[in-house]
């Protein structure tokens, strides 16, 4: 007996017009498909590269390595307070412009202008070439024609996006669509206390997206992180989401919550009681102001409400917790069977040691669970590559996994058609 009503079609999968047949994961093991994805997805979609809090003042910058597009971008706050992005390459001899010690590592800081380490060419914050070392040695050099190569860049709700296409097919807001932009008023900016985790994971990027867009796995894979009084009934009950959303290439899963402070002590760990916190966040919800629950959140009207996880195509997740904090995930492909996973956790800055302790337990709980998810992916990738099996059955709680792979295939097909038309 379902605990939550299904759509009238009988399943979320059919409600969103998706196939119910077993699926192929060829798209997660094929180097050829990965090459297509790089062009069709990562050089056409808007990609989130950070938040405005990372650029606090004029001249603040950070670099972002985009191995999937074989480039690096500089993101900077210009003199007018706008955010700009450039390919991280000097116009003179092609040296990477901004880096420290290790050319392949990301960096950040504040500067008045960008100076190339190689021959000292300088660029203003708006990308204009401002100084050439021994300029009179050059031949007819028009400095105006040698500014940094711009990358399309736009900001939504404090999230900075870039688009590597010559001309993006849609403006950012239109790309994000109404399901995501309904979050716009949520007070992300008040939650500036940040944890940032990163790992290289030996799996295709979509497999980790899949791991965090279904919770069917949660009572099983993470059972040993909770006391038996919690984990045994949780596994017996299984997981059901009250709501799944799909809007264009983007997805949403919403869950019901619990009030841990009302649970029998045997279901909780002593540290949760001591710090009044846990995986789902601090028990004491901070004051997020009047926009703590914009219309886009808690679509099933759960009380208590657990979380909404917005899966923003292609590789970005915003997960808003009912307990008044949020996190983001990024999955940056580096090969068909490898990606860099990044997670940022954001809280209203702790004012007391007690509040800070609640954040500490939430952050470390994320790390515990995240390890288990990441490790499992390597086990999945290696066996998918055996090609012993070609088709895998997905249940209705895995509807979003199905959607991601279908959307990715659609983008690749569209790209192939565009390319054929251009050649014809």
Min dist. Cβ of residue 360 to other proteins (A): 5
Q: Which stretch binds other proteins (CB under 8 A): 23-31, 61-69, 135-143, 372-380?
A: 372-380
Binding mask 271-290 for other proteins (x = CB under 8 A): x--xx---------------
Binding mask 219-248 for other proteins (x = CB under 8 A): -----xxxx---------------------
Dig out the tokens for 157 from the structure: 């709700």
Q: Does 133 interact with other proteins (rule: CB under 8 A)?
A: no
Q: Which is nearer to other proteins, 202 or 418 (CB)?
A: 202
Dig out the tokens for 346 from the structure: 């954001």
Q: Please identify which residue in 158, 269, 300, 412 interacts with other proteins, judged by CB under 8 A.
A: 269
Q: Does 217 interact with other proteins (rule: CB under 8 A)?
A: no
Q: Please identify which residue in 26, 107, 349, 409 interacts with other proteins, judged by CB under 8 A.
A: 349
Min dist. Cβ of residue 164 to other proteins (A): 25
Q: State whether the Cα torsion 333-338-340-345 is positive or negative.
A: positive
Q: Does 196 interact with other proteins (rule: CB under 8 A)?
A: yes
Q: State whether the Cα torsion 247-337-346-193 is positive or negative.
A: negative
Dig out the tokens for 394 from the structure: 């997905």
Q: Please identify which residue in 168, 187, 333, 370 interacts with other proteins, judged by CB under 8 A.
A: 370
**Could you give the CA distance from residue 361 to residue 260 in angstroms, rounded to a whole number?**
14
Give residues with Cβ within 8 angstroms of 62, minimum separation 6: 50, 54, 55, 74, 75, 106, 107, 108
Q: Does 194 interact with other proteins (rule: CB under 8 A)?
A: yes
Q: Does 263 interact with other proteins (rule: CB under 8 A)?
A: no
For residues 85 and 73, the answer to whether their CB atoms sit within 8 Å is yes
**Could you give the CA distance from residue 57 to residue 53 in angstroms, rounded to a whole number?**
9
CA atoms within 13 A of residue 13's CA, in its CB half-sphere: 16
Maximum CA extent, the chain: 81
Q: Does 111 interact with other proteins (rule: CB under 8 A)?
A: no
Following CA atoms 223, 225, 227, 231 in sequence, which dihedral angle do they give, to the nearest 10 degrees? -20
**Could you give the CA distance from residue 24 to residue 319 in angstroms, rounded to a whole number?**
27
Q: Which is nearer to other proteins, 122 or 356 (CB)?
A: 356
**In the complex, which residues of this chain contact other proteins (CB under 8 A)?**
193-199, 201-202, 224-227, 269-271, 274-275, 341, 343-344, 347, 349-357, 359-361, 363-365, 367-368, 370-372, 374-376, 378
């Amino acid at each position: 007996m379902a605990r939550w009503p299904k759509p009238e079609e009988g399943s979320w999968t059919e409600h969103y017009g998706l196939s119910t047949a077993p699926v192929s994961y060829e798209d997660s093991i094929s180097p050829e498909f990965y090459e297509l994805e790089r062009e069709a997805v990562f050089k056409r979609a808007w990609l989130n590269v950070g938040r405005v809090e990372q650029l606090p003042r004029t001249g603040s910058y950070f670099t972002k390595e985009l191995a999937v597009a074989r480039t690096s971008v500089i993101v900077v706050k210009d003199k007018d307070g706008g955010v700009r992005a450039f390919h991280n390459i000097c116009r003179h001899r092609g040296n990477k412009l901004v880096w420290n010690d290790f050319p392949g590592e990301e960096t950040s800081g504040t500067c008045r202008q960008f100076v190339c380490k190689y021959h000292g060419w300088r660029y203003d914050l708006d990308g204009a070439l401002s100084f050439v070392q021994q300029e009179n040695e050059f031949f007819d050099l028009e400095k105006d024609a040698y500014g940094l190569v711009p990358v399309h860049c736009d900001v939504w709700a404090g999230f900075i996006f870039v688009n590597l296409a010559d001309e993006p097919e849609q403006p950012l807001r239109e790309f994000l669509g109404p399901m995501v932009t309904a979050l716009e008023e949520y007070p992300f900016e008040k939650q500036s206390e940040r944890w940032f985790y990163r790992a290289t994971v030996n799996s295709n990027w979509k497999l980790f997206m899949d791991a965090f867009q279904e919770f069917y796995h949660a009572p099983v894979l993470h059972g040993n992180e909770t006391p038996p009084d919690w984990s045994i009934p949780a596994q017996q009950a299984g997981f059901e989401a009250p709501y799944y959303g799909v809007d264009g290439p983007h997805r949403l899963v919403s869950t019901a919550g619990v009030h841990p402070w009302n649970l029998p002590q045997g279901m909780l760990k002593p540290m949760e009681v001591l710090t009044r916190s846990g995986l789902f966040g601090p028990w004491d919800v901070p004051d997020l102001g009047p926009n703590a629950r914009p219309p886009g959140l808690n679509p099933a009207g759960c009380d208590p409400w657990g979380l909404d996880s917005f899966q923003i195509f292609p590789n970005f997740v915003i997960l808003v917790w009912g307990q008044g904090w949020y996190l983001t995930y990024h999955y940056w492909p580096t090969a068909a069977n490898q990606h860099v996973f990044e997670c940022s956790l954001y809280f209203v800055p702790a004012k007391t040691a007690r509040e800070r302790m609640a954040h500490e337990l939430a952050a470390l709980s994320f790390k515990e669970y995240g390890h288990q998810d990441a490790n499992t992916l390597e086990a999945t990738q290696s066996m998918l590559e055996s090609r012993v099996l070609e088709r895998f059955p997905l249940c209705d709680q895995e509807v979003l996994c199905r959607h991601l792979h279908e959307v990715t295939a659609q983008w690749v097909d569209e790209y192939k058609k565009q390319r054929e038309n251009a050649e014809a």
